[in-house]
């Protein structure tokens, strides 16, 4: 283990500290490149206000494209486009009933991801919670 003094600049350390054993052990446990890419892509898809609103609506109830469009004041075409992206990332799943297609969140993983993200945002900015009802997520 080596330590040498350094000058603090911004977010850097005052002391240079290197623990080769810890670095080596952690390196074998880090996510594989494929997992890192897939996770980053999932968060990229979630980084869109319209898609988050669609996921919020679907976390509360299974809905068809027409209902989502009306609920969010969007065109059916815009909703279909966003649902195609969400389906591709396996965040939502369709269910056919006759000629109608209904959508819901894909599984409990997505529900938990959405709940934890919402909890994180709400605990960081409690003043913004005014006017919202408690959010209870479920899948149909």
Question: Tell me: the pLDDT tens digits for 54-92?
Answer: 999 999 999 999 999 999 999 999 999 999 999 999 999
In a domain, 70, yes or no: yes
pLDDT of residue 3: 45
Question: Helix (H, G, I), strand (E, B), or coil: what is residue 45?
Answer: helix
In this structure, what CATH number is given to the domain that contains residue 109? 1.10.10.10
Give tens-digit pLDDT for 21-43: 999 999 999 999 999 999 999 99
Tokens of 72: 């969010």
Please, are residues 76 and 66 in contact by the beta-carbon 8 Å criterion? yes
Residues 40-46: contacts with CB under 8 Å, at least 24 apart: 41/89, 42/89, 42/91, 45/85, 45/86, 45/89, 45/91, 46/91, 46/113, 46/117
23: in domain: no
The vertex-88 CA angle with 100 and 135, nearest 5°, equals: 75
Q: Is residue 77 part of a domain?
A: yes
Q: Is the pLDDT of residue 8 over 80?
A: no
- The answer to whether residues 62 and 95 touch, using CB atoms and an 8 Å cutoff, is yes
* Averaged pLDDT, 96-123: 91
Is position 106 within any domain? yes
Confirm whether 19 is domain-assigned. Answer: no
**Six-digit token string for 40:** 């980053």
CA–CA separation, 58 vs 56, rounded Å? 6
Report the predicted TM-score, pTM, of the whole model to 2 decimal places. 0.73
Q: Considering its fold, how many domains does the chain have in total?
A: 1
* 21: in domain: no
Q: Is residue 58 part of a domain?
A: yes
What's the domain range around 120? 32-129
**Token pair 């195609």: residue:** 84
Residue 16 lies in a domain: no
The CA–CA distances, whole Å, from 77 to 80, 81, 139 equal 5, 6, 24
Terminal-to-terminal C-alpha distance of the chain: 54
Are 114 and 137 contacting, i.e. CB atoms less than 8 angstroms apart? yes
């Amino acid at each position: 283990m080596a330590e040498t003094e350094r000058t603090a600049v911004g977010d850097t350390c005052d002391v240079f500290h290197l623990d080769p054993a810890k670095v080596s052990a952690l390196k074998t446990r880090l996510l594989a490149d494929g997992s890192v890419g897939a996770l980053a892509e999932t968060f990229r898809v979630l980084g869109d206000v319209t898609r988050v609103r669609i996921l919020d609506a679907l976390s509360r109830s299974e809905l068809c494209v027409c209902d989502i469009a009306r609920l969010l004041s969007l065109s059916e075409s815009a909703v279909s486009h966003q649902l195609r992206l969400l389906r591709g990332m396996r965040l939502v799943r369709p269910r056919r009933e006759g000629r109608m297609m209904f959508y819901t969140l894909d599984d409990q993983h997505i529900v938990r991801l959405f709940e934890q993200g919402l909890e994180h945002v709400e605990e960081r900015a409690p003043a913004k919670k005014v006017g919202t009802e408690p959010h209870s997520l479920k899948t149909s």
